[in-house]
Amino acid sequence: GQQLNQSPQSMFIQEGEDVSMNCTSSSIFNTWLWYKQDPGEGPVLLIALYKAGELTSNGRLTAQFGITRKDSFLNISASIPSDVGIYFCAGQPPYTSGTYKYIFGTGTRLKVLA
């Protein structure tokens, strides 16, 4: 089945540094979503991407929908301690079987050192 490879799997960074993570697949997707999950909570939507090549920002977060439709990138600028958590990408394949299901990446665990 379709899979989303997310990298890096985990990362430790210093406060103030910029962070980059990505999701790649061998299949194309129509929509990309990026979520953050804090301990003990459900995933919270950060950014939604609708078109190939699109670049969208949400505060210090910037995400891009890859031009090939097979990948997406998330950047966090000037990281702060509350950026700690697990970041998931989710890709929506072309419409099949009457539903628009999402496939989730494996997650990037971010730890910020003050």
Partner 1 sequence: SAVISQKPSRDICQRGTSLTIQCQVDSQVTMMFWYRQQPGQSLTLIATANQGSEATYESGFVIDKFPISRPNLTFSTLTVSNMSPEDSSIYLCSVEERNGIYIQYFGAGTRLSVL
Under the rule (CB under 8 A), what is the footprint of partner 1?
A: 31, 33, 35, 40-45, 48, 50, 88, 90, 92, 97, 99-102, 104-107
Q: How far is the CB of 85 from partner 1 (least distance, A)?
A: 14
- Nearer Cβ to partner 1, position 42 or 59? 42
* Nearest to 6, CA basis, from 113, 91, 92: 91
Cα 10 to Cα 88: distance, rounded to the nearest angstrom:
12
How far lies 12's CA from each of 34, 43, 57, in Å? 20, 21, 23
- Nearer Cβ to partner 1, position 65 or 73? 65
- How many C-beta neighbours within 10 Å does residue 30 have? 16
Tokens for 83? 């950026």
DSSP state of 59: T
Cα 66 to Cα 68: distance, rounded to the nearest angstrom:
5
- Nearer Cβ to partner 1, position 43 or 66? 43
Q: How far is the CB of 93 from partner 1 (least distance, A)?
A: 11
- Nearer Cβ to partner 1, position 48 or 77? 48
